[in-house]
Structure 1
Amino acid sequence: MRGAGIYSDHQLVRNKIKLKRKQQPKVTRRKFDTSKLQQTTIRSKFKNELKNRFDVLQNYEDVEDSVEKKWQHFENAYKETAQKVLGYKKKGQKPWISKESWDLVEERIKLKRDIEQTTSSRIKQNLIKQNLIMEVKKSMRRDKREWADDLASRAEQAAGNGRMKELYDITKTLSNDKGRTSNAVKDKSGNILTEQSARRTRWREHFEEVLNRPLPTNPVSEELNDQVTVIEDISDKHISKAEIRTAIRKMKNGKSGGKDEITAELLKVDIDTTVDWHAGLFNTI
């Protein structure tokens, strides 16, 4: 950009620059593939591997070890066993696909890559004849049928034992019933509001009614606070194994494992070993 009264051979350039901050990479916590525990062989293998690790730790455990060191042994035993037997969950992986089917898929991918890279027509024709698409489909269908049969038998056992929540979850999984979300907003009469301005007005009315409440007619006085009973008889006995077993069984499956990556499914595989180590750890504290 050069003005009319300026004698110069240089062309001035004007530009707009927009700076953008570099985003920090999102740290995603990996999860163990606990769906493999539904298979009897994998479950027994995990249980035996975990028991062997704890037997070795018990032989070399020092009585003077701190609580942090004992917990570190417990955490490492579970995490190393889960990583060795179960592995981490892959993104988008179906729970019913077995390891044999994944091996066939990897073999077919390698075969397809060899077909694309070879230059000999004779070798290419021989590789094409070895196409594993039918074997992969048969293996996938067999895995899904076995997975559905196993879920059906578990649902039958849950119905017989009265575990209705487990029965409902299994039925929902088999029927592939996904949750339905709705953005509809209704007025006080129950009519659905379609206009955006009417929805915002209804939301404003809702929060005004919820947040702007009148003062209580009978507020709590200081005299009532002094009359609150204080529990003085608190048991200082050791935590029993029955209490720990009950607490572990009440833990819900499918929840995040937290910082240590140990989920409720892992603790329930060999509940006897888990209870023994927790009892020793809690009573040391």
Structure 2
Amino acid sequence: MVLSGIPQNEVIILGGDLNGHVGRESDGFEGVHGEQGYGMRNAEGERILEFGNALELVLCNTLFKKDEAKLVTYSSGGCKSTIDYIMVRKEDRVLVRDAKAIPGEECVSQHRLVIGDLTLRIKKVGAKNHPPKLKVWKLHSGGNKNEFREKIEHIAEEVEEMMESGGVDGKWQAMKKALLEATEEVCGWSKGKARQRETWWWNDSVERAVNEKRRCHKVWKKSKREADRARYVEARRASRTAVWEAQETKRKKFASELEREGGQKSFFKIAKQMVKERRDVTGANCVKDEVGNIVTDNRGVKEVWQRYMEKLLNVDNDWDGEAGCDEVEGECGLITQTEVGKAMKAMKDGKAAGPCGVVAEMLKAAGDVGVQWMTDLCAEGGRKAAPGGGCPDNGWLSTVNDLVRGPEPCNGGPLQHVTVWAASGSGDG
């Protein structure tokens, strides 16, 4: 039954035309009937009381002493009765403050409106803790980006000396410290939650124009002078022009990116994101288990995914041990600055920082110095046989995230395993 499947921690409010007379007295149904009913009981009313007794529900209409006009929910040709009810769980009876019919108000023909006053217990959610973060998004603007690059170039020699003193871990620690300290000096730390999300076309010129418009508006509202109003109108016109120019610049930049290699992929990615944002319901609320049954409740869905992942990650595939590739002799080629620069340019902005705190915006804003540092770090990490080679200590702080891939989440897969490394902030599937 539908009602019996609802968890006990949820409130049930059942209301409607149950087409039965429960009568004035309880007569054996004291837990369901409140002794304040109307008329005589019939067979249909008996079934209503038995239904309430089986599911531990109570009839709110019978809990309060009312005049006849506020008890009658159906009236036709001089025949009056109560067949429309509101029912809640017995443990929720304390929430009900009142229940009555409204005389003269018809919701449908011959039926009066039945209302109930309930006081619901709403759990208060404590204030969410928002840890401070480095304002790395400020590195997108030209002024902050140039200042950051100048600071990095100023300390480049000192950092390179520190990088030479240690192995791969020493190089990484020196580079990380320089990037984080320069970002803190230029961008600062955030306080509390973000007040608003920055739009895609927002820049420094738009911000100055909008601030000037707001300032002129405050002056005009305070003075009420025609000259101040004229200045406000002019500032408003200038702000609209700045917004239009910023949007047009961003559109042209986006159009030029589409013409480059891989631009078509970005176009379809944005189109899919727009379709996803316009859906009424997002996310998968069901999954099929091993035998094909559809599971809809949250606990069941989690259990199905848990069994699937336990089987997926603990069953070995058959492998003969052969790599299937030709052996290559000689020295391993070093990673070049061109390759590192190209990889850094392809890194996406706006990604969450790992335990180390370094993000793509810092590496990109560092310019040629950042490319040189990353090249040295990759070259040192590639020398696994050398003392101090391999992965930095922060690189071992990684997590495995399982992402559903494809449009059919109900089928239980397929999944893609993504290892997120703290040191580089990149993923490897």
Q: Same-fold call, TM > 0.5?
A: yes
Q: 3-state DSSP class of the match of 1:254?
A: coil
Corresponding residue number in structure 2 for 1:139:
238
Q: Secondary structure at the match of 2:161?
A: coil
Q: Does 1:27 align with 2:27?
A: no
What's the counterpart of residue 46 of structure 2?
A: none
Q: In structure 2, give the amino acid aligned to 1:71.
A: K
One-letter code aligned to 2:178: H
**1:272 is the counterpart of 2:368:** yes
Task: Measure, in 2, the Cα distance between the counterparts of 1:73 and 1:187.
Answer: 47
Change (3 A) 1:104 1:262: farther
8 A contact 2:349–2:360 mirrored in 1: yes
Task: Give the equivalent residue in structure 2 for 1:104.
Answer: 212
| Range moving further from structure 2, 244-253 or 164-173 | 164-173
Q: 1:261 to 1:169 in 2, by over 3 A?
A: farther
Query: What does residue 91 of structure 1 align with?
Result: 196
Task: Specify the alignment match of 2:265 in structure 1.
Answer: 165
What CA distance in whole angstroms lies between the structure 2 residues aligned with 1:148 and 1:125?
33
Aligned partner of 1:96: which letter? W
Q: Paired residue for 1:254?
A: 350
Listed one character per residue, the Cα deviations across residues 63-99 of structure 1 (whole Å, up to 9, x for unaligned) are 2566224421132224433449xxx975244443423
Counterpart residue number, 2:89? none
CA–CA distance in structure 2, aligned partners of residues 157 and 90 of structure 1: 32
Q: 1:153 to 1:168 in 2, by over 3 A?
A: farther
Q: Kindly report which structure 2 residues correspond to 1:61-210, keeping only aligned pairs within 5 A, or say none.
A: 61=159, 63-64=161-162, 67=170, 68-83=173-188, 90-97=195-202, 98-108=206-216, 111=219, 115=222, 124-126=223-225, 129-131=227-229, 133-162=232-261, 163-168=263-268, 178-182=277-281, 200=296
> Is the 8 Å Cα contact of residues 155 and 171 (structure 1) preserved in structure 2?
no
- What are the Cα deviations for residues 34-54 of structure 1, in whole angstroms up to 9, with x where unaligned? 3883xxxx43x3443233212
**What root-mean-square deviation, in Å, do the aligned CA atoms of Structure 1 and Structure 2 show?**
5.1
The residue type paired with residue 257 of structure 1 is A
Structure with the bigger RCO (C-alpha within 8 Å, sep 6+) is 1
The gaps in structure 1 that reach 5 residues or longer are 1-19, 116-123, 189-197
Give the SS at the match of 1:91. coil
Q: What one-letter code is carried by the residue in structure 2 that aligns with 1:164?
A: Q
* Count of aligned residue pairs for this structure pair: 232
Q: Which residue of 2 aligns with 1:56?
A: 154
- Give the C-alpha shift of residue 275 in structure 1: 0.8
CA distance in structure 1 between the partners assigned to 2:301 and 2:211 by the alignment:
59
Structure 2 residues without counterparts, runs of 5 or longer: 1-122, 289-293, 381-387, 390-429
1:143-186 C-alpha deviation (Å, 9 max, x unpaired) = 2211221122123212322412334567799x999442426979
Larger Cα Rg: Structure 1 or Structure 2?
Answer: 2
Task: Return the alpha-carbon distance in structure 1 between the equivalents of residues 347 and 238 of structure 2.
Answer: 35
Structure 1 residues 260 and 83: alpha-carbon distance in aligned structure 2, compared to 1, 3 A threshold: farther
Q: State the one-letter code of the partner of 2:148.
A: L
Letter of the aligned partner of 1:52 in structure 2? Answer: E
Structure 1 residues 30 and 206, CA gap change in structure 2 (3 angstroms) = closer
CA distance in 2, matches of 1:81, 1:205: 46
C-alpha change, 1:168 and 1:155, in structure 2 (3 Å) is farther
- The code of the aligned residue for 1:264 comes to A
Which SS does the other structure have where 2:155 is aligned? helix
Take 1:27 and 1:144, find their aligned partners in 2: how far apart are those partners? Answer: 31
Report the alpha carbon displacement of residue 256 of structure 1 after superposing the two structures with TM.
2.1
Separation in structure 2 between the aligned mates of residue 74 and residue 244 of structure 1, nearest angstrom = 17
C-alpha contact 1:49 1:81 (8 A) present in aligned 2? yes
* Bigger helix fraction: 1
Contact 1:245–1:275 under 8 Å retained in 2: yes
